[in-house]
Structure 1
């Protein structure tokens, strides 16, 4: 078995680059892992494509990389037993991409996508499993029945319930938040309507003469703000006005008393 120390630095560099890309943007229906003790072994969990006898199952496979990867193609094996024309009983995968059609520019992503596509469209003409290949050509329904049977027995069930539970919880949460927002908006609208419908507080002041300034009259008719701060400001303003009026009255009374005293002295 190869070890990380025995792998050439250029291979390790290439693997690190490809694995980072697969981690940041994984192919649809494929999860990739690596053996920490041996980077030449790449593991992948492949979800059975919908509409095939392999749907609802998750199949584990591995890719064995050579020391001169990517100049030589990796070897692919299914670790999960599967009934498929192009997959032997020992799990070996027969696909042209891993043989005569290999190109150093092709990466792990391309290989994994091709293998998953093989589950969608088998090639019975180059079968490693002769029984599956013959059955596929002569009686597809029987082939599909065998493939589904193997999937149900050996493949790991696809965790569909997790996705559904998350979606349902998220949907319910969104609905609750939406309803809460609507209630809050309604409550705010009702409060605003009630505040606007209330008559404005009238501050006590001296009676305005008839025919007074229209701007003064309009100013006195403007309602105070609905907020507590504006209400407090209006109350404070009223108090100051009352105090000024009281001081003016006292001064006027004092002037009257002084005038009376002066009159008495003259008498």
Structure 2
């Protein structure tokens, strides 16, 4: 097992400073595990970026530093199985930052960020997983389906523990159904502005004017009727009440004429 003794003192000092910085202010979606006894193997947990087939996944990887680091790039491996064009079936990572684009001045933060960006934008032209690379170029939906399947099986995030005594039931689900009908009725009344309900079309109809007048009495206080119109309605009502008396007089006049004959 490699130890810090395999690395030059100046490299150990630089790595200790960088690892402390990564632990205190980790890059977005990346958490580095620090091992004070062995800086030559760096572990990191990478969250699957949103909007990718790796979303909601947590992927563990490691960087192995050689004895002549930083003159030679570290080797990167995914320990969590993943379906990706640039990551082989054994987890080896193919990215330019760890190969031809390597620069001794590049730090671990830069390397880790580049690897996470690889999950956002794969490079099928330099694929280590030929199946994933071909699928990405020819049928992205099928590629995404495979990647999501691997993520769901191998890279599920550990569920956070609930606090003791906490209610895991969402508050929105605690609905009171006992007064549902009364609440709906109140809502309808509020919408209509508190106006009385219209008469039901199934209600019995009045057979004559007298029944109608009994069911709907005339009133001068009806909204929308002027004073003159109300007076005319009152006179009309009075005329209707005098009709039976006029008819009675005609009957008495006819009886008198019959007596004379």
Question: Does the alignment reach a TM-score above 0.5?
Answer: yes
Give the aligned partner of residue 44 of structure 2: 44
Q: 1:72, 1:149 → 2: CA distance?
A: 35
Contact kept? 2:23, 2:34, Cα under 8 Å: no
- Could you tell me which residue of structure 1 aligns to residue 7 of structure 2? 7
- Unaligned stretches of 5+ residues in structure 1: 167-267
Local SS of the residue matching 2:81: coil
Worse-matched range after superposition: 81-90 or 149-158: 149-158
* CA deviations over 1:24-82 (Å, ceiling 9, x no partner): 21100000013344220000000000000000010000000111222211100000000
CA–CA separation in structure 2 for the residues paired with 1:2 and 1:160: 34
Q: TM-score, with normalisation over the residues of structure 1? A: 0.58
In the TM superposition, 1:130-169 aligns within 5 A as: 130-157=130-157, 159=159
Measured on the aligned residues, the alpha-carbon RMSD in Å equals 1.9
SS of the residue aligned with 1:156?
Answer: coil
CA deviation digits over 1:91-150, x for unaligned, max 9? 000000000000111100000000000000000000000000000000000000000000
Question: Equivalent residue of 1:38, what SS?
Answer: coil
2:65–2:75 Cα contact (<8 Å) kept:
yes
TM, length-normalised to structure 2: 0.60
Measure, in 2, the Cα distance between the counterparts of 1:10 and 1:151: 39
In 2: Cα distance, 1:121 partner to 1:128 partner: 15
* Equivalent residues, number: 164
Give the corresponding residue for 2:19. 19
Distance in 1 between residues matched to 2:143 and 2:4, nearest whole Å: 42
Q: Secondary structure at the match of 2:40?
A: strand
- Is the helix fraction higher in 1 or 2? 1
Kindly tell me: are residues 88 and 158 of structure 1, through their superposed partners in 2, closer, same or farther at Cα, counting changes over 3 Å?
same
The range that moved more, 60-69 or 125-134, is 60-69
SS across alignment from 2:92: coil
Aligned match of 2:68: 68
Partner of 2:179: none
1:11, 1:69 within 8 Å by CA — same for their partners in 2? yes
Partner of 1:102: 102
Alignment-derived partner of residue 119 in structure 1: 119
Question: Are 2:80 and 2:155, in contact at CA under 8 Å, matched by a contact in 1?
Answer: yes
Cα distance in 2 for partners of 1:44, 1:159 equals: 19
Q: List structure 1 segments (4+ residues) > 4 angstroms apart after TM superposition.
A: 158-162
Residue 92 of structure 1: aligned partner: 92
Kindly indicate whether the alpha-carbon contact (under 8 Å) linking 1:11 and 1:67 is maintained by their aligned counterparts in 2: no
Structure 2 CA distance for aligned equivalents of residues 92 and 109 of structure 1? 19
Please state if 1:129 is matched with 2:129: yes
Secondary structure in 1 matching 2:131: helix
